[in-house]
Amino acid sequence: MEPHTTPGTAPKVRARAVTRTFGHGTRQVHALGPLDMDIQHGEFCCIVGPSGCGKSTFLRIVAGLVRPSGGEVELRAGRRHPAAMIPQDYGIYDWKTVLANVRFGLDVQRVPRKAADARARDWLHRLGLADFADAYPATLSGGMRQRVAIARALAVEPEVLLLDEPFAALDAQLRTILQDELLAVCQATRTTALFVTHSLEEAIVLGDRVVVMSARPGRVIAERHPPFDRPRTGAMRRAPRFAALQSELWELLRDEVQRAGAGAAAPADPVGKPS
Ligand SMILES: Nc1ncnc2c1ncn2[C@@H]1O[C@H](COP(=O)(O)OP(=O)(O)OP(=O)(O)O)[C@@H](O)[C@H]1O
């Protein structure tokens, strides 16, 4: 299918014929692609797909952490820090204080200590963690650790934020609160976001666009634009159009999840299947 584009604008991220294989010979795994995708400046793009279809691999390629085996990814960024990634395990360091964790990317960029501290404290304040600057992550709740990871990624002011199932381990209430906070921050800072989730509901609540991937090797098989104004409220979840879109996405995904499940045990609620 044709990648999503807006005429006259250059996409922030442009992926063309991206493939990735791991291993060699009989043990080779074709994990991804060929995959085409354009992500526009300021867009919040959610990716859903069966387990093991290459979603994390694609994020890591966009982040520059993994090389594609074929094709190319172009990230149009003017700043020194084009992309920041929040991995599935949050990636925060238990031996560093909350402040030092949030300052980490700035230290790597060699931002002077005073300015880095001020910027890190500002992000801690924005995410409700101002009182925990000197705490160690082990003393924080899951939701607070997740906020530290978000603050750390946003502190470097990336042009593209890459999030790999960031809220999967959180309870439903906290998940909703952090979804709202993340959306508000991304909109205020015009940050482009690429967000991987197993939850169709989450994808519809957050996404300007929901991209559906096939079973491994992951390709884009469909995309939908949730037709809801922002800010999106809890009431939207009860709207008939919400349920209809969730069912439509599940129909698109069902076969792919079954195909993926033929090779591996599927999770209990693989993609937020509507009940
Ligand atoms: N470093 C690696 N070495 C070997 N195989 C890998 C490596 N990274 C990923 N794979 C394989 O590539 C495939 C895609 O993995 P990936 O983690 O990208 O999928 P995913 O869609 O993010 O899965 P999930 O939804 O379960 O997190 C899987 O079969 C995985 O085992």
Which one, of 221, 197, 212, 194, lies nearest residue 62 by Cα?
194
Considering its fold, how many domains does the chain have in total?
1
Q: Is 251 part of a structural domain of the chain?
A: yes
The response to whether residue 111 sits with its C-beta less than 6 Å from ligand 1 reads: no
Whether residue 246 has its Cβ less than 6 Å from ligand 1? no
Q: What is the pTM of this model?
A: 0.89
Indicate left, alpha or beta for 157 from its phi (over 0: left) and psi (-120 to 50: alpha).
Answer: left
Assess if residue 163 is contained within a domain: no
d(CA 105, CA 6): 32
pLDDT tens digits along 174-216: 788 888 888 888 888 889 999 999 999 999 999 999 999 999 9
Whole-angstrom Cα distance, residue 61 to residue 15?
Answer: 10
Return d(Cα 34, Cα 36) in angstroms, integer.
7
The verdict on the CB of residue 264 being under 6 Å from ligand 1 is: no
Query: Is 111 contained in some domain?
Result: no
Q: In this structure, which residue's CA is closest to atom 31 in ligand 1?
A: 52
User: How remote is the CA of residue 215 from the centroid of ligand 1, in Å?
Assistant: 12
Task: Give nearest CA residue, ligand 1 atom 9.
Answer: 57
Query: Has the ipTM of the complex gone over 0.90?
Result: yes
For 17, the token pair is 């014929």
CA 108 to chain centre: 22
In a domain, 204, yes or no: yes
Identify whether 69 is part of a domain: yes
Domain of 54? 1-77+196-264
Q: Is 29 in the pocket of ligand 1 (CB under 6 A)?
A: yes
Least Cα distance to 270 among 168, 134, 179, 174 occurs for 168
Residue 235 to residue 250: CA distance in whole angstroms = 21
CATH number at residue 202: 3.40.50.300
| Ligand 1 atom with minimal separation from the 60 CA | 18
What are the 10-residue block averages of pLDDT along the chain, 275 residues in total?
Answer: 54 96 91 95 95 95 95 84 83 94 92 94 90 95 89 89 88 82 85 94 94 95 92 80 95 88 49 49
Kindly give the number of the ligand 1 atom that is closest to the alpha carbon of 20.
12
Ligand 1 neighbour 20 (Cβ under 6 A): no
Binding site membership of 56 for ligand 1 (Cβ less than 6 Å): yes
SS3 106: helix
Q: Is residue 252 part of a domain?
A: yes
The answer to whether residue 171 is domain-embedded is: no
168 in a domain, yes or no?
no
Instruction: Report which ligand 1 atom has the smallest distance to the Cα of 88.
Output: 27
In order, the DSSP letters of 144-162 are HHHHHHHHHHHHT--SEEE
Q: What is the reported pLDDT for 260?
A: 80
Residue 59 Cα: closest atom of ligand 1: 18
Query: Would you give the end-to-end CA distance of the chain in angstroms?
Result: 29
